Structure formats: structure tokens, C-alpha cells
């Protein structure tokens, strides 16, 4: 009897081990800013990984961060999609919401968006780890800074209508007063520009053409 019970439990465990994991969409790396600030364009993957601090200079008027981030859709291409007749792959991912929780008493935020990540592929999406109107941000004195942790989670749907959530993507963010570069002086009619946004890091400054 005991032997039969052990064999039955072993068979059940083997069957359970064959279950399929749900497709996963996950943030990968923060992208370095393109050399050309005027184009501010990205490919499906980062040309280079940003390895500096993510920063918001509130002393220079910064009120939000726009962060180009590479995201992966690891779902398998299993659909009979035919783009010639307009079919949508049922494992294409559509990132629709960014939820962020912070350390240091900063109020949680939610940002709505619409970004596409192809099945079994990658895309560079624009997330906003600190949106305009975020309450509770530190207000450091000139020349000082405070680092907070932002725990970013993405939510959305696949082409078949099922939903997904990304694993948490933790970002240390430096809130500072006077830690980012100044916009350049440009010769008219050119005007100063920033990619992706002024008074944040990462960013690239230049003059319009």
C-alpha cells in the first residue's frame, strides 16, 4: 500500500512539473541617450546600456523623468498570424500602465500609456518612473541630493486579451538641486533641445537644426 501511494505521488509530481509557465514581459536595461539629441530616436534594443545615475534636478525646474528602457517579450510565437490580412499575433504584448512605489514617503504613482512589444522580441519603451505631480518628493538644498528607490511594475495585455504584469524593476533615483547639465547656448534660429527631457539624467543636450 505504501509503495503504491509513493508511486502515485511521484506520478502526480511529474505531471505537475509539466505545466507551462505563462509568457513573461520584463524590463531589461535603461538605454543610453543617442549621440544625436535632435533625433532622439531608438531601435528595438538599446544601442548602449546607461550605467550612470538616474537623476531628477528639481532645483533646475525638473518635474518628471522620461526614461527610455528596453523591455523583452519572452512569449513564444505560436499563433497563425498573417500580417498581410491584418491579423494580430496573440502573444504580442501591449504595455498599458506603469505603477511605481517609492521609498522615503513619496506617494505611489500610476501612468497610462500604450507601447507595443512584439512576440519573442524586444522594444525600447518610454516609461515615466516619476510623473508630473508626484507628491512627497524630497526638496534638497542647492548642491545637495537625496536618493530614493522606485519600484516599477508594468501591466498590460497580450494580443489574445490575457493580462500580464512585469517583475518589479527597481531604480535608484537621485533627487538633486543643481546636479545636471545646463542647456547649451545656440545661435538663432536654432534653439536648445534635450533628449529625452531637460534637467534629468540620462539626457543629451544640443541645438535644433
Average pLDDT over residues 133-154: 96
H/E element, 72: strand 65-73
Distance of CA 166 to the CA centre of its chain: 10
Comparing 13-17, 79-83, 152-156, 185-189, which segment has the lowest mean pLDDT? Answer: 13-17
Q: Is 14 helix (H, G, I), strand (E, B) or coil?
A: helix
If one compares 12 and 76, the residue with the highest pLDDT of the two is 76
Checking if the pLDDT of 18 tops 70, the result is: no
Average pLDDT over residues 35-60: 92
The domain ranges of the chain are 22-76+87-207
The answer on pLDDT for 3 being more than 50 is no
Cis ω for the linkage preceding 196 (within 30 of 0): yes
Residues 187, 43: Cα–Cα separation, whole Å: 30
Q: What is the mean pLDDT of residues 22-34?
A: 89
| pLDDT exceeds 60 at position 23 | no
Q: What is the mean pLDDT of residues 137-162?
A: 96
pLDDT tier at 21 (50, 70, 90 boundaries)? low
Amino acid at each position: 500500500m505504501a509503495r503504491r501511494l509513493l508511486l502515485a505521488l511521484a506520478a502526480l509530481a511529474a505531471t505537475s512539473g509539466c505545466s507551462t509557465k505563462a509568457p513573461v514581459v520584463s524590463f531589461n536595461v535603461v538605454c543610453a541617450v543617442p549621440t544625436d539629441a535632435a533625433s532622439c530616436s531608438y531601435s528595438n534594443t538599446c544601442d548602449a546600456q546607461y550605467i550612470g545615475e538616474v537623476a531628477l534636478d528639481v532645483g533646475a525646474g525638473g518635474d518628471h523623468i522620461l526614461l527610455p528602457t528596453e523591455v523583452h517579450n519572452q512569449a513564444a510565437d505560436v499563433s497563425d498570424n498573417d500580417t498581410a490580412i491584418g491579423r494580430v499575433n496573440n502573444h504580442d504584448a501591449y504595455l498599458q500602465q506603469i505603477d511605481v512605489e517609492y521609498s522615503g514617503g513619496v506617494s505611489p504613482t500610476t501612468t497610462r500609456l500604450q507601447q507595443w512589444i512584439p512576440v519573442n522580441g524586444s522594444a525600447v519603451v518610454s516609461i515615466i518612473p516619476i510623473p508630473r505631480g508626484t507628491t512627497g518628493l524630497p526638496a534638497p538644498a542647492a548642491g545637495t541630493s537625496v536618493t530614493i528607490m522606485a519600484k516599477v511594475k508594468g501591466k498590460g495585455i497580450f494580443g489574445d486579451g490575457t493580462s500580464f504584469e512585469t517583475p518589479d524593476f527597481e531604480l535608484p533615483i537621485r533627487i538633486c538641486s543643481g546636479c545636471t547639465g545646463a542647456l547649451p547656448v545656440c545661435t538663432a534660429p536654432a534653439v536648445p533641445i534635450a533628449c529625452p527631457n531637460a534637467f534629468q539624467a540620462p539626457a543629451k543636450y544640443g541645438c535644433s537644426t
